Structure 1
Amino acid sequence: MPTYTHDGLTFDYTDAGAGEPVVLLHGFPEDAQSWQRVAPLLHDAGLRTLAPEQRGYSPGAKPKRRGDYTLDKLSGDVLALLDAAGIERAHVVGHDWGGGVAWDLATRHPQRVASLVVLATPHPSAAMWAIPRSKQALRSWYMGFFQLPWLPERAGARVIERMLTSSGLNAEDARRYAERYADPARLTGPMNWYRAIPLSQPATDLTVRVPTTYVWGNGDPYLDRVAAEKTRDFVAADYRFVELDATHWLPQDEPDAVATAIIERVMS
């Protein structure tokens, strides 16, 4: 597996296929393998995919402080990947927390983003707007719990497989993640993404000005329809909203629909 360095850290990533470059950003508590059913479909369509193991997940990129996981640093990791691969502009795809990074990258560094496809995660301003107008705060209760030290890791390691399957993830992938996080210490980096939320400074202008597709599953237990539908108000470019009869785990359980959305966005 190739590697690249940034901010004193070493990141593993996959690089496969040929053609227009598409960066695939995984979410919590996933890894680059979450794209294993999507990437071959993109390769068949003549696209190149780069899928990094992100900060807190890659073995050589696990800083301990929560301040090392702010959005500007996470977006900086993606820019470093593009630089290492010699890519000026890429199509960026993100799921869950990877979607959060994708939104941030498109607002901070639009000149590096050819197009955007975000899975599940609404635009952050839409999510904030929805909190007093929907059940989004209740759906996001765990984000407050994750702010605590050490306890979320211990609890998470015990229940992660049950939590994932109950939210709709297939049993095979849920079991693999449970094995990966059997040691609670391995959850600290991923949970630090949540702990860094109060420390993150958003871009000055949060309007997205690159062509964007947003894909949302109407059975998502974590993300409310109100925020999903409001997202269009924060994109000042060609925009498509794709609603699927699906849960949160779109790359794993809806690879054909996800690949179609990506290919149509890249080729448009």
Structure 2
Amino acid sequence: MLNSTNDKLIERGLEVAESQIFRQNKIWARHTDEKADVAASLMKTIRTLHKAAPREKELSALAIGSADEPQFRLLEAAFKKGLWLYDIDGTALAIVAERLQRQMIEGVSLVSGDYTVDLADPQTAMRTLSSKLGGRPFDLVTLHHCLYYSSAAIWPVLVEALYDRVLAPGGAMHFALMSARETREGTTTRLYHHFSRMFFGAQTNQDLLLLKDELKVHPVFRKADISSETHEVTFWVDDFEKYMAVVWMVMLYPHGHRYTLDQRTQIIEFVIENFWRPRRPLIQAQDYLTVFKSE
């Protein structure tokens, strides 16, 4: 009976493995406190920007890779007539486009693109700002979880390009990413590393805290105010397919890694025995990085 139940769960886990990332993220957002935590951290940055700006100034924001996430509502309210959503996922942008039309929201611009191409270096970023992003630097640039889909080796140049050419003086950049340094059992980092080491002999080097250290000694950022914080968030849903959809998001499948059928089966079996049957929630340690640009 147990094997029969496992087989059914494995079948369901395999079926949901190919789900679109915006659907995975929707489940994560609905059944965790992570988005509220992102909003709380982001709100500190927004509050600082608004406090420093002249009362009559309308601030602008660029959200990279987070078109359909809940913080859209916060950004839309805080940056009236100056919010740009940039994303490679056309489905996510289409969802926002329908909402903008339905709710008669103005002042939000939707842009499709790949930040690893459009913002690859300062010169390219300057051209992209002029041709695709309205031509005026932004007071806020957010990169929430989108850095998973690029090599950490390009981050310093990418952030330099944004800071130097896309971010306005006095503006801020706000990043959020799963902690690369977490080692506790039951965490998303530990789960990801368990299989990335097993299958690929490697672990993530996508570390916001390491990026912070690199920026602090980078000459372009010598006058920048750079800070970080780490919070803990929790995910649980009493539906195996939804639970596994989020596991695949954590495992970067199919959008980062292409695990074989046997490897996917091993991942599902591990989740069944170590998380699903004990009714164990996933814990995520989440790093935030904020960079304020001097006037």
TM-score range, shorter chain: 0.3 to 0.5
Normalised to the residue count of structure 1, the TM-score between the two structures is: 0.36
Normalised to the residue count of structure 2, the TM-score between the two structures is: 0.34
Q: Which has the larger radius of gyration?
A: 2
